[in-house]
Amino acid sequence: MLRLYSASRRFGLLKCAKLRRPYSAVVDAGVEPVRGMDLGVAHSKLLLRSVAAVRNSAELQTLGVADGETRKMNMCQAINDALRLTLTSDDTAVVFGEDVAFGGVFRCSVGLADEFGGERVFNTPLTEQGIAGFGIGMAAMGHTSIAEIQFADYIFPAFDQLANEAAKFRYRSGNEFNAGGLTVRTPSAAVGHGGHYHSQSPEAFFAHVPGLKVVVPRSAVQAKGLLMSAIRDPNPTIVFEPKILYRSAVEQVPVDDYML
């Protein structure tokens, strides 16, 4: 039994070593490493992509944006860009949540209130249930409703509104009404110093709710394209944004409007 244990332990270590290789790939001299990360992660091809890698993306080529203008953005800036494009192209779009008018805790909405005014980008009271309920009502009245829950850890007071109202609104009304215009953004997961109330990943709770869509981006290109898709999807969608990637995932992001 000891031999079996030793063999399985060695196999496990070997397997883990193989799994780590993609995160410590050969350093690309054309890509700036992520600051503040372990050496292997700092050069991860999953976090950083060169202009050439974006140009060669089959998905972006299909969308017709691979050969257009790109700009270096981290995930936070890519989200801000998606929100700005939405507010520019959609007169019914509104962005709201705790402190979003000031730019938000992580600065994802910085500058939007100044550009689009306080009637379209505004702060709410500290009530997650109220934010979700208000967003559902706005969406039901035909608005593009983009709500922010300041931390995913505090989304649980809004669970009833999202799971029992937003998700079921279309069904319970016989398709006469819906909350498909609702998108909820929220920073999630750990950063290493957030404690138990700023480190949770509650996406699994919502992934099992029929009528809701759940999105988790891993890069700047994905964050912009997936957020644009979530906003325009005819179903209520929750976007869980891993906050550790806000400034560590940096890419050349197409400046054009695109959806993934």
Q: Which residues are catalytic?
A: 128, 198
**Secondary structure class of 128 (helix, strand, coil):** helix
Which burial class, exposed, middle or buried, applies to 28 when counting CB atoms under 10 A from its CB (0-12, 13-18, 19+)?
A: middle
The answer to whether the beta carbons of residues 235 and 206 sit under 8 Å apart is: no
The answer to whether the beta carbons of residues 150 and 194 sit under 8 Å apart is: no
Residue 258 neighbours by CB under 8 Å, 6+ apart:
60, 63, 64, 65, 224, 225, 228
CB atoms within 10 A of CB 26: 7
Tokens of 72: 């270096």
Residue 216: name the closest of 182, 254, 185 by CA. Answer: 185
Residue type, 249: A
